[in-house]
Homo-oligomer: A and B are copies of this chain.
């Protein structure tokens, strides 16, 4: 028995055993050149017999591809990511690629470079704000394939993106609160300050107020970071504070944070929707079963993941790109806004 540094079986072992050159084995594996029937059969045998698995790193190095795509998120603190990941993973798997999931946000940027990029992936799905416009410009200039998710391209770059319609739908939803349910003091539990969804939803919120002659009161804007626990914390503090600001509704920028909002309201004995109406965004799976059922906006999150990934593969395959995709959203009326069950 021969000794070897690495214990794993290599393409050379296969070649030797099958009596062909390594080039032939490689061609057979990648099916990028014809191989005679007998050789093919022999290789099949030998490969299964030896349990040969091509070494990914060697392959990547030689071919200058990784067969990995990366998904860069700010964090993993939201149930929202399950449908997103699901959509992404499905097409990655179909393409026989692998998926690296990494978190990275603007604050970590100073401390370290992004964990994933051209050196270890073939393309990136960028959700995170950790890659600032400058980073995007650099990557884009080097021809690195990227698709932005829930975020649009910096003006001069034209990086493909997939987002959902935010402003109009939010405007409508908030207006519903005002016109149908007579709410006028609507608290906005927003998300991360520079997250586009949050900004757009804030715009829709403000435009609805303006359109209905309600002055914007910045005391009614709280920073929930689109996180359940933070939203709870923030609203709880707000409610516990002696000099309370009156309000009769909460527009929570996302369903997950809405749970925190409901929790805080419940603990402070508000009746929902009678004392305070609550609305969310995303229509996560649990939304119809919250107490009360949550009026929210249905966002096609799994589709966002799927489509973004498909577009990334288009980029990998054809180099072709085509602007911003905005998926439609729809309001789902349930009990929490005051509508009948």
A interface vs B, CB < 8 Å? 6-8, 53-61, 64, 66, 68, 75-79, 81-82, 85-86, 89, 93, 96, 98-103, 112-113, 115-120, 142, 228, 256, 259, 262-263, 284-286, 288-293
Number of copies: 2
B120 touching A56, Cβ below 8 Å: yes
Among A7, A78, A120, A142, the one with the most B-chain Cβ atoms within 10 Å of its Cβ is: A120
A78 touching B85, Cβ below 8 Å: no
**A56 (CB) vs chain B CBs: closest residue:** B120
Which residues from chain B contact A6 at a C-beta distance below 8 Å?
64
Which residues from chain B contact A76 at a C-beta distance below 8 Å?
82, 85-86, 89
Complex-state Cα separation, A171 to B187, whole angstroms: 45
A93 touching B103, Cβ below 8 Å: yes
Q: Which 4 A-B pairs have the closest CB atoms?
A: A57-B60, A56-B120, A286-B286, A291-B291
Query: How far does the Cβ of A30 sit from chain B's closest Cβ, in whole Å?
Result: 15
B98 touching A99, Cβ below 8 Å: no
Query: How far does the Cβ of A51 sit from chain B's closest Cβ, in whole Å?
Result: 8
A100 touching B142, Cβ below 8 Å: no
Given contacts A61-B58, A262-B289, A291-B289, whether A53 and B118 have CB atoms under 8 Å apart is: yes
Contact sample, A vs B, 6 pairs, CB 8 Å cutoff: A54-B119, A57-B57, A57-B61, A77-B82, A77-B86, A79-B79
Query: How far does the Cβ of A75 sit from chain B's closest Cβ, in whole Å?
Result: 8
Complex-state Cα separation, A7 to B119, whole angstroms: 12
Complex-state Cα separation, A45 to B284, whole angstroms: 48
Given contacts A76-B82, A288-B263, A291-B291, whether A100 and B103 have CB atoms under 8 Å apart is: no
**A7 (CB) vs chain B CBs: closest residue:** B142
B102 touching A93, Cβ below 8 Å: yes
B285 touching A53, Cβ below 8 Å: no
Which residues from chain B contact A60 at a C-beta distance below 8 Å?
56-57, 60
Which residues from chain B contact A68 at a C-beta distance below 8 Å?
100
Which residues from chain B contact A54 at a C-beta distance below 8 Å?
119
**A57 (CB) vs chain B CBs: closest residue:** B60
Among A79, A100, A262, the one with the most B-chain Cβ atoms within 10 Å of its Cβ is: A79
